[in-house]
Amino acid sequence: MLHNENNTDLAAEDSLLAAIDLGSNSFHMVVAKLAHGELTTIDIMSEKVQLAAGIGPNGMLDEAAFERGLACLSRFAQRLADIPNDAIKIVGTNALREANNRNAFADAAEQVLNVPLEIIAGREEARLIYLGVSHTLANTPGARLVIDIGGGSTECIIGERFTPLEMESLHMGCVSFTQRYFTDGVLSEKNFKQAEYGALRELQVIRERYLETGWTSCVGSSGSIKAIRNAGIECGFSDELITRKSLQQLREKILSFENIDTLEIPGVKPERTAILPAGLAILSALFESLGIEEMAFSEGALREGLLYDMAGRKNHEDVRERSISALSQRYHVDEQHAQRVEHTALLALAQVKESWALTGHAHHDMLSWAARTHEIGLTIAHSGFHKHSAYLLQHSDLAGFSALEQQLLSFLVRGNRRKFPREEFKQLPDARKETFKRLCVLLRLAVVLNRSRSSARLPAFDLKAESKQLSLRFPDGWLDMHPLTHMELEQEADYLKNADIKFTFS
């Protein structure tokens, strides 16, 4: 059972939630029931897919790995058939971040599951891991260091209770290190030391900062650390905790074998044995670099973090709201003007959402967030500020947002003024193009109607939409009294021709 120490944070309504984590080594799915502030696990499925092993020198996910992944998802899909789509979250991690054909895989996965696949950034993965771990541990005071060794990356987080303080995703994982340092399958002191040195080099970028922040307890999560812990217990090297001594003893036992193919370690599943040496080398380097003496283990990980993140959103406690608010404050946004633009955009959305198929909560949220951040680029320069705003939204670390969500939000802001951004539009996933073109048009109108930055209320307006047409009507005589708005709307009609939309107003 996943227990939440802060029960008021979760919705009391009974509902099923499902989280899928497409890791570099394995795909995991967990289905849980949310009832009265508590998540109870109903079902768990896990398959070794090894996406990372299928990425070739050209950076492309090969056909075999592509098909392995989709076949696994088709089996997951059967289990998810009776769960509403908005109660399912699926994320891709390091292997899909690295794969050049990640968008093709994401599109194919969405066809299988009928749920968008979100490829998340390393720090967002770290945040979710910490959330999953912290909700499965006692809510005790003091900072804790959480470490998760995946197939392609390792996440290191320092946090207190439910709040992460430091987050980092490092380019080292048990699959990628197996390919790099144990390619020939030989188990030798030389190969092991090279893997350790490789991990120590990666850790140099965080070592000083993490040691300065400090922690009082250390916790590991996910498959590699679980396998190392189980091996230590089964071999009699340790009890519940992973220690420096148990790591050294396990290393000696592994090196008593000459080849990975012959490796057998008590407590370790055969499918994980091949990547155990690389995982052990990474964990040994972590202990050495960060001065760790002992490590506990948590069953919570990324997928549990996804569940709690979804539960928070159901209760209107969306971390993305905090990210947008923090971004607005950091870049000194004129909040009153942003609120006027947001209000106008959402009024427009309310009038056309049925005819333009924009009825989802996500449509409302993305338009709202775009309106609130469309001027963050002014801090950099007034000239081309919409381009600066778009860049910041796409390339900042925004907790709670997937890479695709940031791309879509960036597109909306990039297109809020002047020429419609056709090149950026072409880069959107095909399934999102029409939807986000329409949202972009609504944001553009809201910006135009608030160009004077006046606090005076706009008059009630009537907005009607068809497939490629949009008509705007004001009270009689209002446009005659507002010549600037009239001129801007004429120009907007010309701009929207490039978006293949006929815009009329009166």
SS3 218: strand
For residue 415, the domain's CATH number is 1.10.3210.10
pTM higher than 0.75: yes
SS3 88: strand
Q: How many residues does the chain have?
A: 506
Mean pLDDT of 110-116: 93
User: Do 478 and 406 have their domain in common?
Assistant: yes
User: Do 278 and 414 have their domain in common?
Assistant: no
> What average pLDDT does the structure give for the chain?
90
C-alpha distances (whole Å) from 373 to each of 188, 390, 413 are 54, 9, 8
Mean pLDDT of 139-144: 84
Q: Which residues contact 409 (CB under 8 A, 6 or more apart)?
A: 366, 369, 370, 373, 393, 394, 401
User: Do 220 and 257 have their domain in common?
Assistant: yes
In a domain, 309, yes or no: no
User: Do 166 and 258 have their domain in common?
Assistant: yes
Do the strands 462-465 and 469-473 form a parallel or antiparallel pair, or are they unpaired? antiparallel
In a domain, 391, yes or no: yes
User: Do 268 and 142 have their domain in common?
Assistant: yes
In a domain, 312, yes or no: no
- pLDDT computed for residue 141 by the predictor: 80
- pLDDT computed for residue 403 by the predictor: 81
pLDDT (tens digit, 9 = 90+) per residue, 5-43? Answer: 333 333 334 589 999 999 988 899 999 988 766 788 899
Q: In degrees rounded to 5, what are phi and psi of residue 83?
A: -105, 130
Mean pLDDT of 439-464: 92
How many domains are there within the chain? 3
User: Residue 434: is its pLDDT beyond 80?
Assistant: yes
User: Do 401 and 285 have their domain in common?
Assistant: no
For residue 73, the domain's CATH number is 3.30.420.40
pLDDT (tens digit, 9 = 90+) per residue, 194-212? Answer: 999 999 999 999 999 999 9
Q: Residue 501: pLDDT band by 50, 70, 90 thresholds?
A: very high
- Which of 57, 92, 120 is the C-terminal boundary of a domain? 120
Task: Please measure the distance between the N-terminal and C-terminal CA atoms of the chain and give it in whole angstroms.
Answer: 60
CA–CA–CA angle 465, 466, 467 (5° rounding): 130
SS3 sequence of 130-181: HHHHHCCCCCCCCEEEEEEECCCCEEEEEEECCEEEEEEEECCCHHHHHHHH
In a domain, 126, yes or no: no
- pLDDT computed for residue 13 by the predictor: 46
Per the structure, the complete domain to which residue 94 belongs is given by 7-120
In contact, 128 and 120? CB cutoff 8 Å: yes
In a domain, 422, yes or no: yes
Mean pLDDT of 362-388: 92
- Which of 244, 265, 298 is the C-terminal boundary of a domain? 298
- pLDDT computed for residue 473 by the predictor: 95
- pLDDT computed for residue 316 by the predictor: 60
User: Do 346 and 278 have their domain in common?
Assistant: no
User: Do 145 and 111 have their domain in common?
Assistant: no
In a domain, 305, yes or no: no
Q: Which residues contact 302 (CB under 8 A, 6 or more apart)?
A: 21, 23, 28, 91, 93, 125, 128, 129, 132, 148, 222
User: Do 341 and 268 have their domain in common?
Assistant: no
* Strand ranges across the sheet with 217-221: 163-170, 154-160, 143-149, 217-221, 294-298, 242-243
Do the strands 143-149 and 154-160 form a parallel or antiparallel pair, or are they unpaired? antiparallel
User: Residue 3: is its pLDDT beyond 70?
Assistant: no
The closest of 369, 326, 323 to 346, measured between CA atoms, is 369
Do the strands 88-92 and 38-48 form a parallel or antiparallel pair, or are they unpaired? unpaired
- Which of 298, 330, 356 is the C-terminal boundary of a domain? 298
pLDDT (tens digit, 9 = 90+) per residue, 159-182? Answer: 998 889 999 999 999 999 999 999
Q: Residue 192: pLDDT band by 50, 70, 90 thresholds?
A: very high
In a domain, 248, yes or no: yes
C-alpha distances (whole Å) from 349 to each of 17, 359, 363, 419 are 29, 9, 9, 21
For residue 228, the domain's CATH number is 3.30.420.150
Mean pLDDT of 32-58: 86
- pLDDT computed for residue 285 by the predictor: 97
In a domain, 450, yes or no: yes
SS3 239: coil
User: Do 40 and 87 have their domain in common?
Assistant: yes
User: Do 375 and 484 have their domain in common?
Assistant: yes
What does the alpha-carbon distance between residue 19 and residue 43 come to, in Å, rounded to a whole number?
A: 11
User: Do 246 and 353 have their domain in common?
Assistant: no
- pLDDT computed for residue 457 by the predictor: 87
CA–CA–CA angle 32, 37, 42 (5° rounding): 15
What does the alpha-carbon distance between residue 374 and residue 204 come to, in Å, rounded to a whole number?
A: 37
pLDDT (tens digit, 9 = 90+) per residue, 210-257? Answer: 999 999 999 999 889 999 999 999 999 988 899 999 999 999 999 999
